Amino acid sequence: MAGSTTDATAEGSKGTEMMAVMWSMTTLATILVVSRLCVRQRILHSFGLDDWLIGASMRLYPWSMDMDNIRKL
């Protein structure tokens, strides 16, 4: 069956596919968080602790990624 797990492991590393999915999800999450923060600050004029924490977590996320291990898969 095309695209099955056994075909992917037989062909070699899955690191490239994992990186593509990771960056796609990171981009989507960043767009959603920035949209939320803009709405909370500009429209609702209500910027709370939860907004600060989600902003900080998005800012610190790149340092938590271990891309060398992903590339080795």
Please check whether residue 2 lies inside any domain of the structure: no
Bigger pLDDT: 21 vs 9:
21
Please check whether residue 26 lies inside any domain of the structure: yes
Please check whether residue 32 lies inside any domain of the structure: yes
Gap between the terminal Cα atoms of the chain: 21
Look at residue 22 in the predicted model and tell me its pLDDT: 85
pTM given for the model: 0.65
Domain that holds residue 65: 13-72
Cβ 22 vs Cβ 61: under 8 Å: no
Please check whether residue 64 lies inside any domain of the structure: yes
Please check whether residue 58 lies inside any domain of the structure: yes
Segment 17-53, tens digit of pLDDT: 888 888 899 899 999 999 999 999 999 898 899 999 9
Q: Could you give the number of structural domains in the chain?
A: 1
Task: List the one residue out of 65, 63, 66, 57 whose CA is nearest residue 32.
Answer: 57
Look at residue 60 in the predicted model and tell me its pLDDT: 82
Please check whether residue 8 lies inside any domain of the structure: no
Look at residue 49 in the predicted model and tell me its pLDDT: 93
Bigger pLDDT: 3 vs 44:
44
For 37-68, the DSSP string reads: HHIIIIIS----HHHHHHHHHHHHHHHH--HH
